[in-house]
Amino acid sequence: MRRSLPKKTKHKPGGGPAFRGYLRHKAHAASLADSCRTLSGALYAGRGVGEPGGWRASLWIARKAHALGLMAWHGRRSLFQSVPLGSATPRPRSDGCQAIVQGDGSQYDLLRDDELLVRSQQASVVLDNVPLVFVGYGIVAAAYQWDDYAGLDVVGKVVVVLPNDPGRNSPRGERFQGERMTYYGRWEYKYEEAARQGAAGVIIIHTDELFGSAFHLVRDEMRRPFRFLPGAVRSGLAFEGICSERFGRQLLSATGLDLDTFLADPWPMAKRARWLDARLHLSLGFDIRIGHCWNVLGMKKGRLFPRQCVLLCAHWDHLGRTPDRTQPRGYYPGAVDNAVGVSVLLELSRRLANAAPLRRTVLIAWTTAEEVGMLGSAQVARLIGETGLDVVAALNVDGFVPIGKTRDLSLVDGDQSDLPSAFVRAGKHLNRRISLDDAPCAGYFYRSDQASFAKINIPAVQVTTGSDLKRGGMEEGLKRHDFYDSNIYHSTSDTFDRYWDFASICADIDVIHETLLLLADSSLRPVLRSLRRSTDGD
């Protein structure tokens, strides 16, 4: 017997909310895809800082922002912000370059064996017979009652330090923040603190576990031209170095210090620092160039409190061209990292342009030089300090991997503030769950632009793709993320794929937009964790 078909029903023009949302996402997904395809294309050649492709990318973004009606930043006439950029390229090793450690009756040529990776902001580095001293984690943190340099004179010496911080073996949080890495664990901090102490140079002992990445990835990064902000704190160092785990263990064991024993039960090195049985002879040359690259800064001015701001940011730069002639394209496209993020900010800008002004100002920053040390966002943070703007929150869009529709949106928050609670409220309104950083020990919070704003006490988060797929669940989502991390991240394979589901990214943008409305159209102000602890005690 033939089953009768259901009667067709007439829909009102425009359909229901779900149908209208579907049509809206479909149209906006096409725009997202077009922007991502354009920025990851050959014309922009990997968007390298200081390269023609990078300049063309920043100009393209500025034109888009201007067309959307964004105004120049407070007190500025242009959407561009110049970022001074130093570049140091090592001279060929045949030009008399050497890095030799003598001690224990032995001599090691570290450059020849790739045991030591060195960079510098100085044109010439010459150190002769300089002693090495082990200072543990190299941390000065009064808040955690930890000082590795107290009473220790390292002026003119080379300090040897460990990455990460002492909390890594404290699951209950006895030290620092337990397994969650703090900024004291980042290698940038190690260099900054050593410079403040007057050291001539720093050697960080690499291990995959402590560093959170394999040595070959660090080696690839250190071999690229070193980019830096001229005049920054670290400019006082003659050199910054990272050595292999094998050599680091050998260096410590020659002085009677076992690395595993120290890591299991570390102590502040003040007055107990180990003077290593080794001295460094270093002779290196670098070609130094000073240029400029550009942030693109725009804003939608608030109607009631224009000096109170919510900051949105996404870095437009990637790794640029590659000298490896075996690579077919000759450049790193950077589609996921971070052409997608740039496109997300353009979509949010479009939504702001089509709506009435909010109570607070929304600042939008497409930053440069994130891949070479978050230099562009550091320049934005400097501008915030100079102009005295009241930035209540910073949302950094980075790491949107188009894996498909997810039930969740992920935040990397570093447990710095209660800003994630605003996302939770927005997510409930849209039936989306908010997931927090699932690998706090890796210190991802300090590896993207949100770190520059956290340094000046602005509540900040990084917004990324979730993992709980609607088709496949958490297991399949994590598998797809792992595939990206292992095979595509920072490789020439990070290309645009026309089969990506940009409609799922539109659903993520809905959550970001709803959070933006909560923050910029109300008196809500996220609270820093440190401030909360102090007020709770009153």
pLDDT tens, per residue, the chain with 538 residues: 344 433 443 434 444 444 445 445 666 899 999 999 999 999 999 999 999 999 999 999 999 999 999 999 877 889 999 999 999 998 876 555 666 777 766 666 766 667 888 999 999 999 998 999 999 999 999 989 999 999 889 999 999 999 999 988 776 777 888 888 889 999 899 999 999 999 999 999 999 988 878 888 888 888 888 999 888 778 889 999 999 999 899 889 888 889 999 998 888 887 677 888 888 888 889 999 999 999 999 999 999 999 999 999 999 999 999 877 777 789 999 999 999 999 999 999 999 999 999 999 999 999 999 999 999 999 999 999 999 999 999 999 998 999 999 999 999 998 899 999 999 999 999 999 999 987 777 788 999 999 999 999 999 999 999 999 999 999 999 999 999 999 999 999 999 999 999 999 999 999 999 999 999 999 999 999 853 333 333 3
Helix (H, G, I), strand (E, B) or coil at 502: helix
C-alpha 512/C-alpha 507 separation (Å) is 9
* Amino acid residing at 517: L
Task: Yes or no: say if 259 and 210 are a contact pair by the CB < 8 Å rule.
Answer: no
The two tokens of residue 331 are 């450049």
CA angle 20/342/189 to nearest 5° reads 135
C-alpha 19/C-alpha 4 separation (Å) is 26
What proportions of the chain, in percent to the nearest 5, are helix, strand and coil?
A: 35, 25, 40
C-alpha 282/C-alpha 125 separation (Å) is 7
Domain 88-288 class in CATH: alpha beta
C-alpha 210/C-alpha 410 separation (Å) is 24
pTM of the model: 0.88
C-alpha 487/C-alpha 454 separation (Å) is 30
| DSSP designation for 30 | H
Helix (H, G, I), strand (E, B) or coil at 280: strand
C-alpha 193/C-alpha 189 separation (Å) is 6
User: Would you tell me how many other CB atoms lie within 10 Å of the CB of residue 521?
Assistant: 19
C-alpha 162/C-alpha 91 separation (Å) is 28
Q: Any idea how long the chain is? A: 538
Q: Do domains 34-69+301-372+389-536 and 88-288 have the same CATH topology?
A: no
Domain residue ranges of the chain, discontinuous segments joined by +: 34-69+301-372+389-536, 88-288
Give exposure, 311-331, as e/b (b: 16+ Cβ within 10 Å).
bbbbbbbbbbbbeeeeeeeeb
* Amino acid residing at 228: F
User: Would you tell me how many other CB atoms lie within 10 Å of the CB of residue 531?
Assistant: 12
The two tokens of residue 537 are 């005690």
- Helix (H) or strand (E) holding 343, with range, is helix 340-353
* Phi then psi dihedrals of residue 457, to 5 deg: 65, 40
Does domain 34-69+301-372+389-536 sit in CATH 3.30.70.270?
no
The two tokens of residue 15 are 């359909």
